[in-house]
Amino acid sequence: MFIQTLITDPVLFFRIVVIVIFSITLHELAHGWAAISQGDNTPQQKGHLTLNPVVHMGVESLIFLCFTGIAWGQMPVNPAKFRFPKLSNIIVSAAGPLSNLALGIFFIILIKLFANPDSPGIFSFEFLYLACRINLTLFLFNLLPVPPLDGFHVFSEIFPQLKPLQNTNFGIFAMMLLFTVPGVGRGLSMIADLMISATIGV
C-alpha cells in the first residue's frame, strides 16, 4: 500500500502527496473558472474559487490519498446556467484534464530549462519529472469515457447515445475495473513517460 512509502522512501511519499494535491486543486479550479466563463456562478456561490485543497478534495480524499495514493476532487457546477448547453458542458468538462496537460507541459519546460539530473533537492530533475508524469497521467485518466470522469461528459455530448450510461451502474463497475485490473494505471503512466521522453529526450 502507498502508505508504506512513508517508511521506505519518505521523500518520494511527500513529493507525490504534494504534487497530487496541487494538481487536483488546479484541476478543480479550472472547472470552476470555465463554468464561470460559461455563465454559471455556482463555483463562486459555493465558495470553491479557492486554493484550499480541503474545499476541493475533502478530508476523506486527503486521507485516502495518504493511504492508497489515490484521490479525487469536486467542483459544484449547474449545467442549467450554461450559455450553450452542449458546448459549455464540453468546455467545462475538458478544462480539468487540460489544466493537467498544461501543468505537464509547464514542468517539461522547467526540466528543459533548469533541471540537472545530478542535482539533489525537492526541485530536482526527479521532482520535476514526477510532477510532469503525474499530471500527464491525470490528463490521460480523466479523458477516459467512463462516468463520472470528465472524458465521459465530453464524449457523451459528442456521442449522445452514451448519455444513458450515466444513470446506470456502468460507471461504478468500470471504475472498479480501472482500479483493480493490473496494469491500467501503469499503462497510462508508461504513455506519460513516452510523451515526456519524446519531448525532453531521456
Q: Is 28 an annotated catalytic residue?
A: yes
Confirm if 13 and 6 have CB atoms less than 8 A apart: yes
How many Cβ atoms sit within 10 Å of the Cβ of residue 82?
18
Q: How far apart are CA 139 and CA 133, in angstroms?
A: 10
Q: Give me 14's grid cell.
A: 511527500
Tell me which of 28, 60, 126, 157 is the catalytic residue. 28
Q: Give me 160's grid cell.
A: 449522445
Q: What angle do CA 174, 148, 51 make, to 5 degrees?
A: 130
Q: Among all residues, which ones are annotated catalytic?
A: 28
